[in-house]
Chain A
Amino acid sequence: MIEIQDVVKEYRMGPTTVTALASVSLYIAQGEFVAIVGPSGSGKSTLMNIIGCLDTPDDGSYRLAGEEVAELDASELAEVRNLRIGFVFQVFNLLPRATALENVALPLVYRGVGAGRRQRRAEEMLERVGLADRMDHLPSELSGGQRQRVAIARALIGSPSVILADEPTGALDTTTGREIMELFEELHTEGVTVVLVTHELELAEGTNRTIRLRDGMVQPAAAPPAPQGQNAHQQSAVAPEGQPRPLALGQEGRV
């Protein structure tokens, strides 16, 4: 699903060059529930931006659902984000003037889906995250946990290849945070690929696998994914889950 090979990212800050990612390679299979952990400054945010197709690497390869996305332009990246990525942010990032339903439907607007189908689909998603009775509420009328559920519903609506959650419990109290983690666990058992980016090791323990990042490099894992994992990488690089799905806007049929 996510195949990252020797990815390098550097930032120029005046005369000096800061290396955010030295050489990162990682593989995440479809249906996995993975945590990417690392202290601040480890390159975690940069990696997340690249995985989320908000940024492109300076060097290396990134294949998402079988498609090379490392050298796409801004407009193509937007299309990939729309079709393949579901973002969940720490601060929810809902549009304040739009209702829960409108927020959830937003990704489908940029896919050109008609209003009726958008609404039906958004209603399904809100039911799925347990907010059937809050559809017409504005974000300001919802609690933190409810807002994050709306954000998760919005991430799910486009049937993305991966849900990318950046510190999703960071702005929530412990109990609510745990509920959100349970929701991710549930989605995982339903077959959704979830990548959790966090600095809390404790949170990462709830996932199947933890990828540790330090100084722009992936740390060798204490319990590394078995050599089979490597094999799977090799194999999937040849033929990842059958036919690669074409990237096109005409895919709302799947929605």
Chain B
Amino acid sequence: MRLAANLIMLWENIAMSFRSIFSSKGRAFLTALGVMIGVASVITLTGLGQGARAQVEEDLTRLGANLLIVYSGEPTTSTQLVRPRTTRIRPTLTEEDLAAIKALPENQVVLTAAESTLEGQLKFENRNMAATVVGTEPAYPEIRNFQPAYGSFFTASDAEHRRNVVAIGAEVYRTLFPDGRDPIGQSIRINGHAFRVTGVMEEKGSPTQDASVLIPLSTYRRRLSGEDSFAMINVQASSLEVMYELQERIEQELLGLRRLPSMDLANFYVANQMDVIGAATGVADTFTLMLAGIAAISLIVGGIGIMNIMLVSVTERTREIGIRMALGARASHLMTQFLTEAVLLSAGGGLIGIAAGYALSWALQHFAGLASAISPEAVIMAFSFALATGLFFGGYPAYRASRLDPIEALRYE
């Protein structure tokens, strides 16, 4: 009985609030405008922040999925996964290290590719250029997500027979073959040794990759470096989840081979894609949070707008409040009536704000070329915050209405 009566009251309150809002549409719009702008800016700005984050993430996974790189030497302080100048690394990783990593279970390690690099001199006909010469294994394109765009990469057979074959970067192709000649089968010289071109790699936009040539590691050792050890081992893990576990396993295996107690004394380290993603997205998240904070302030300002107008409205409707009290409305009835009105105003503002936020993000994406990713969480958060703002800032005017003296209110002109 009581519940039914309360439900009827709630419904009446909503109906009354709608009537009151629709009887002064212009004012209601202006009242809700602040909340509208607040919600729209929360959604747009967090969308931009999240868009930036998604882009960073995408850039990083473009280096290769689930990538761990074992480097020779001491860890660098930078958070980069792929170091820009790998030709300076003194190689300390051995065949035993590589074998130990390859021996790890398949549910952790999918592919491996050892890698060493040096600065080389390329020559074709009368053209010369300096380039990074990468000696590596056939799995490299797969692991590093760096595929030939034309022709093919060298094969396992090439590696086994230490053939003089090379896949060249896009920049190398442009420099050595400016006439656009088909390079496949052509012979170029690397540090004086003749190599047959098998393919041209895709353009990555990174000078280190585009101005490099890739040859079998076996050939690299025999003809160019003469060293048995190598600088890096690229490892593809089976999933993101196992990456930290795998890093730990690799560190333990390699420390065991070196009879070292801890990583402090090691002459190698493992760079983990997860760490790099974490660091970069962390920056983007801070950025997002800051934008959301600024937007939230505008929501609060919108709430103050609601409070202002609701206070005016309570004063204007003093007589109405008196009449309702005389007819038996209790303080709680009037409290809920005005609270409902404030919450409906902020909810309306919130809904329009969500639509405006989506429209604005769409416009920024299409006309300004900005990356934007609106998450449902951000929308729900902004809307709930708008409702809470209405409830909070509607509270005081509603309290004022409910505390009026019926006799005074009835006498109010």
Taking beta carbons and an 8 Å cutoff, which residues of A are in contact with B? 49, 52, 54-55, 74-75, 78-79, 81-83, 87, 89, 93-95, 97-98, 106-107, 109-115, 154, 158, 249-250
Contact = CB atoms under 8 A, between A and B. Distances in A.
A49 to B, nearest CB: 6
Interface of B: 1-2, 4-6, 8-9, 12, 19-20, 23, 319-320, 322-333, 406-407, 410
Contact of A249 (B5, B12, B322): B5
Contacts of A79: 328, 330
A93 to B, nearest CB: 5
A75 B332 contact: yes
- Decide if the interface of chain B is mainly helix, strand, loop or mixed: helix
A74 B403 CA distance: 10
Nearest to A98: B19
Contacts of B23: 97
B407 A78 contact: no
Contact of A112 (B4, B319, B323, B407): B4
Given A54-B406, A89-B410, A93-B323, A114 B329 contact: no
A111 B1 CA distance: 11
Most A C-beta atoms less than 10 A away, residue of B8, B20, B319, B325: B8
Contacts of A52: 326
A228 to B, nearest CB: 34
Given A97-B19, A250-B1, A111 B328 contact: yes
A79 B20 CA distance: 25
A97 B18 CA distance: 12
A106 B326 contact: no
Given A54-B407, A89-B410, A97-B23, A81 B327 contact: yes
B13 to A, nearest CB: 9
Contact of B328 (A81, A93, A97): A81
B155 to A, nearest CB: 82
Contacts of B324: 106, 110
Contacts of B6: 112
A83 B330 CA distance: 13
Nearest to A83: B328
13 contacts: A52-B326, A78-B331, A81-B326, A82-B327, A82-B328, A87-B326, A93-B322, A110-B327, A110-B329, A112-B4, A115-B8, A249-B2, A249-B5
Given A93-B326, A111-B5, A112-B4, 10 more contacts: A54-B406, A74-B331, A78-B328, A83-B328, A93-B323, A106-B324, A107-B327, A110-B9, A112-B9, A249-B5
